[in-house]
A and B are shown apart, each in its own frame.
Chain A
Amino acid sequence: MSSRLEAEHLYKVFGRRPGDAVTRLEQGADRDELRDDGTTAAVIDASFSVEPGEIFVVMGLSGSGKSTLLRMLNGLLEPTAGHVRFDGQDMTALGDRELRALRANKISMVFQHFALFPHRSVRENAAYGLSVQGVPRAERERRADEALALCGLAGWEDSWPDELSGGMQQRVGLARALATDADLLLMDESFSALDPLIRRDMQDQLLELQKTLKKTIVFITHDLNEAMRLGDRIAVMRDGRIVQTGTAEDILVRPVDDYVASFTKDVDRSRVLTTGAVMDPETRGDEADCDCPTVTPDTPFTELCALSARLSHPVAVLSEDGELVGVVRRQRLVGFLGDRQGAPEPCGNPSVPAHVDGKVTARA
C-alpha cells in the first residue's frame, strides 16, 4: 500500500433517513434541496488519498464540512456511505473496540481550543494517550517529557494548563498527540484560535518538527495562507464537496472555478509562487548565453524579483541539469503579483499608462 490514508466517496448526512439522502445526492440532488427536508448533508462524495509523510490540508469556510470530514477519518463519526482506508485497512468495517485501539495507537488529534484536561498537569496531559494505551507510569512520563521538550516546553511539565498562554497550551496539545507515536496526526483548526504572531511560530515549529518526524498529517484550516504555508497538497471544500485538490501552486495559478479563485485573491502570492509557475516556457534558446545569474524552477518568487530588478533582460530559467526551460520577463512578474496575466494591451490614450487602472494600483 502506498497511501497511508484513503477516503473513497465519503458521505455524511445528518437527519432522518440518511441513506435515502445519499441516493438522492448521487443522483444529483444538491444540498439545499435536502435541507428543505430537514436533513443536512455535511460531506458529499469526498475522495482523496494522503501519502506517508505528507501534510494534507483541507481548506474551507465554516460549514463547508471539513471538521465532519476529519472526524470520519478517525472514526469519531461513522460515514453514512463510503470508505476510509488506513494503511489499507477499511476503518468502516471495524468494531468499536478495534476502532478505539486504532485511535489509541495510530491516530492522534490536535484540537482547535486545545481540549487540555484542566484537572491534569501538563505532564499528565501529554501522557494521556499513553495512559490509555496502558503504558506504565514511569515510561509514559519519560515519553511525555520528551514530547514536551520536542515542542519547546521543557521545564513546564509540572505546571497546569490554565497557567499557560494559548500558544503554550497548544504546544501541550501537540505534545500529547506526538507522545503516542501515532503515524497519523489529525489537526482540527489547531492554530486558528491563536494570535497571528503565535500562529506563525506554531506553523514554523510544525514544519520544523515535520522535517525530522515525517508524520502523516491531515490539517484542517479556513485560512488559505496557512494552507499554502503548511500543505504539500490542499483540498478546497465548498458546501460539503471537495472542489479542487492540488498543490498550493495548482490552487493559486490554476483554480478550477471562480469560487476557488476568489479565495486566492487575498493570498500573499509572492510567498507561494515559484519560478516554475511564473516562467514563460517559450524561449528563443539564447537567453542563458550571457554570464548573468540564472534561476531554477524552484527558486522562490521573491528571489526571482530581486534578480530581475538587477538584470536588464529577462531572467533565464535553467533546469537542474543546466538546460534552458524558460524565461521570466519583468512585466510578467508584475502581472502575476497582480493576478493579471497575458500579453500587454495597446495603449489608447498616451497620457494614461496602460495596465494602471484603479484596481491594479490598489492591489500593488
Chain B
Amino acid sequence: MPRLQLGDWVDDGVSWLVDHMSWLFDAIKMVVEGLYDGIYAVLTAPEPLLLAGILAVAAWWLRGLVAGVLAFAGFALVDSMALWDKAMSTLALVLVATLVALVISIPLGIWAARSKTVSAVVRPVLDLLQTMPSMVLLIPAILFFGMGVPAGVVATLIFALAPGVRMTELGIRQVDAELVEAAEAFGTPPRDTLLRVQLPSALPTIMAGVNQVIMLGLSMVVIAGMVGTGGLGGAVNEAIGQLDIGLGFEAGLGIVVLAIYLDRMTGALGAQISPLGRRAAAKARTAGTPKLWNHRPRPVVALAGVVVLALVAGGLGIFGSSAQTTAATGTDVGQGKKVTIGYIPWDEGIATTFLWKELLEERGFNVTTTQYAAGPLYTGLATGQIDFQTDAWLPVTHAEYWKKYGDQLEDLGKWYGPTSLELTVPSYVKGVDSLADLKGQSSKFKGRIVGIEPSAGMMGLLKDKVLGEYGLDGEYEVVDGSTPAMLAELKRAYAKKEPIVVTLWSPHWAYSDYDLKKLKDPKAAWGEGDGVHTLARKGFADDNPEVGDWLKNFSMTEKQLTGLEARIQQAGKGGEQDAVRAWLKANPGLAEKWAPVGSSEGKSGANGVSDN
C-alpha cells in the first residue's frame, strides 16, 4: 500500500491557515473574548449569594418553589466551596459557547432540513467533529486562537455543534408534511412557512437540541481547562494532576450543579416559549390540587424580583469594586508590565512559578499564572501567548516538545539538576534493588511496568533502551497511561502492599509521601539526568532584560526546592503565594539574590527599562 501522507497535508493546511487566515481567527477571537468578558463581568459583579438569589428566582419562576430553593442551595454550596469565581467563569464559557453554537447550528439545521445536498454534506462533517478526539482538535485551536478562552470556546463549540444542527434538522423534517402543504395551499411564502409553521412546530425538538448543546458544552469544560480557560475545568485538571481527590470532587460537584441548573432551566424554558408546552404545563398545574411547592410567581412578579436583586447587586458591586489587589512596593522595575507564566501542575513547577510570581510582583510586574497540560503549554510558548515557564525537563523528558518547538523558544538555562529517571518499587518489595533484579520476577509484578503518558521522553527511553539493556524486553509490558493514573495505581498498590513497578523521577513528592526504593541502574541505561530549565518565548529576554537576567542566573538547591514544596503542600490549594511569601521571609536574602534591584544595579536596571 502506498503511504498516504495525510498527516503532512493536515500539517501544511494548518500552517497555511495560521499564516494566511490570521485576520479571520483574530476577528473570531475578538468576538468570543468580548462576549466572554461581558458575560463574566455581569456574572461576577454582584455578591455571589445575590446572584444565587437571582438565579433561584429564575428557577422559581420557570419551575416552581422547590426548584428555586434547590437552585439557591446548589449555588450557595458552590460559593461555600470557594469555587464561585471559577464556576462563573465556566458558566460564562458555556454560555458563550452555547450562544455561538446556536447561531451556527440553527441556521445550518434549517438549511440542511430544506436541502438534501446540504444535509448529505453536513452529516459526515458533524460526525467528524463529534467523534474526533477533542485533544486532536485542541492543539490546532491553540495555534489559531492562542491559549485561553477562545480556544476553549472553539473546542467546546466543535463538540457541541452537532446536536444543535441535528435536532433542528430533525425537528423541521418531522413537521407533518400535511401542515406544510396546508400552509402552502393558503399561499404562505416559503419564509413565512418556516417562521410560522415549521419552526413553531419544531420548537420542542429544537429546544431539546439546545439543551443537548449546553450539556455537551459543560462536559467539554474539563478538556477546555487544558488550554488555559481556567474555571472549574482548570480546577479539575489541577486536582487530577496533583491526585487531589477532594478538590477534584468539589470542582466536579460545581460542574454538576451548573449542569443540573442549566438542564432544568432550558427544559422549562422550552416549555415556556412554545405555546404547546405552555398549555401542557398549565394543564398539569390545574390537574392537581394547588400546592405551595408548586407555586410559581407570575412573570411580572419574578421579573420584579430579579430587577430588585440585580439593583441591589449592582449597588454592592459598585461599592465593593474599589479594593485594589496589586500594591507595588519597593523598587518598581516592572511598572505594571504584564508577564504571563504558564505551568504544568508538577510540584517543582508550581513552587517556582509562584516563587517568580511573588518576586516579579514585588518588583512591580503584573503577573498572570495559568496552568496547562504540557502540550498546550509548549504550543502557547511557541506562539508567544505565554512569556515563560520554569518546568522544562531537558534534554530527555520533554525531548518531543523541544524537537517540535525548540527553534521557536529561548532556553534561559537550567535552575535545578540533575534530575533522575528511574523505575521504582515500594520498599516492602524485598529482593529487588536494581534493574537487573527485575529479571525473572515478572510473575510477581504481573508482567507490568506502570508507565505514564506515551509521549513522555522517559517512556521512549524505557521501551527502546532500558528494557533491552537489562534483557527485560519480552518479560515486561510497559503500560501506557497518564501520570495521575500511575500515581493512583501506586497509591492503591501501596495501600494493599502489593508489588508494583512504576516509572518515576526525582524530585517527586511521591518519595516523601511513600516509602519507595529507586532501582539502581548499574549499566547507566537511563543516561544522564535531565536538568530543569526555564524556557521563554523568543524575544522575552530582549523585551525584559532584567527578568531575562534574573531567570538566567536563577538556581535552586534540592533543600530549597523541597523546603518550598513542603510549605506549599501545607498551605494547600489557593495558598501557594502566601506560602512562598512566608518561605521567603524565613529565608532572608534569597529574594535579593535571585532578583537583585540593588542601588548600583538599580541604576542599570532603570536604564534598561528606559532603553525599551
Give the interface of A toward B (CB within 8 A).
Answer: 74, 76, 100-105, 107-109, 111-113, 115, 117-120, 128-129, 132-133, 160, 176, 180, 186
Contact = CB atoms under 8 A, between A and B. Distances in A.
A228 B149 CA distance: 73
Nearest to A186: B185
B179 A129 contact: no
A113 B181 contact: no
Nearest to A107: B185
B544 to A, nearest CB: 63
B200 A103 contact: no
Contacts of A76: 181, 184-185
Given A100-B189, A118-B201, 10 more contacts: A100-B187, A104-B188, A113-B178, A115-B179, A117-B201, A128-B186, A129-B187, A132-B187, A160-B279, A176-B186
Nearest to B189: A100
Contacts of A112: 178
Contacts of A160: 279
Interface centre among B178, B186, B200, B275, by most chain A C-beta atoms within 10 angstroms, is: B186
16 contacts: A76-B185, A100-B188, A100-B189, A104-B186, A104-B188, A109-B182, A109-B186, A111-B181, A111-B182, A115-B178, A117-B197, A117-B200, A117-B201, A119-B203, A119-B275, A120-B275
> Which 8 pairs from chain A and chain B are nearest by CB?
A104-B187, A115-B182, A103-B187, A109-B185, A115-B178, A100-B187, A129-B186, A119-B200
A176 B275 CA distance: 20
B276 A108 contact: no
Nearest to B184: A76
A119 B271 CA distance: 12
A115 B181 contact: yes
B171 to A, nearest CB: 13
Contact of A101 (B185, B187, B279): B187
B178 A118 contact: no
A89 to B, nearest CB: 16
A132 B179 contact: no
A141 to B, nearest CB: 17
A102 B185 CA distance: 10
A75 to B, nearest CB: 9
Interface string B258-282: 0000000000000000111001000
Contacts of A120: 275
B182 A119 contact: no
A103 B186 contact: yes
Contacts of A107: 185
B192 interface: yes
Nearest to A133: B187
A132 B200 contact: no
- What secondary structure prevails in chain A residues at the interface with B? mixed
B464 interface: no
A190 to B, nearest CB: 12
B176 interface: yes
Given A76-B181, A109-B182, A115 B187 contact: no
Interface of B is mostly: helix
Interface of B: 176, 178-179, 181-182, 184-189, 192, 197, 200-201, 203, 274-276, 279
A132 B196 CA distance: 10
A180 B186 contact: yes
Contact of A132 (B178, B188, B276): B188
B176 A115 contact: yes
| Most B-side CB within 10 Å, residue of A117, A160, A180 | A117
A104 B188 CA distance: 7
A132 B186 contact: yes
B179 A117 contact: yes
Contacts of B279: 160
Contacts of B186: 103-104, 108-109, 128-129, 132, 176, 180
A119 B276 contact: yes
A109 B189 CA distance: 16
Contacts of A119: 200-201, 203, 274-276
Contacts of B178: 111-113, 115
Contacts of B275: 119-120
Given A111-B178, A115-B179, A117-B179, A105 B184 contact: no
A143 B178 CA distance: 24
Contacts of B189: 100
A104 B183 CA distance: 10
A112 B177 CA distance: 12
A113 B201 CA distance: 16
B203 to A, nearest CB: 8
A233 B201 CA distance: 39
Nearest to B203: A119
Nearest to B200: A119
A115 B184 CA distance: 12
A118 B185 CA distance: 17
B174 to A, nearest CB: 13
A74 B182 CA distance: 12
A272 to B, nearest CB: 31
A123 to B, nearest CB: 13
Contacts of B276: 118-119
A166 to B, nearest CB: 14
A36 B402 CA distance: 68
B284 to A, nearest CB: 15
A107 B182 CA distance: 12
A76 B186 CA distance: 10
B411 to A, nearest CB: 66
A113 B184 CA distance: 16
Contacts of B192: 132
A33 B178 CA distance: 31
A156 to B, nearest CB: 15
A115 B181 CA distance: 8
Contacts of A128: 186
Nearest to B279: A160
A176 B186 CA distance: 10
Contacts of A100: 187-189
Nearest to B180: A115
Contacts of B187: 100-105, 129, 132-133
Nearest to A114: B178
Nearest to A109: B185
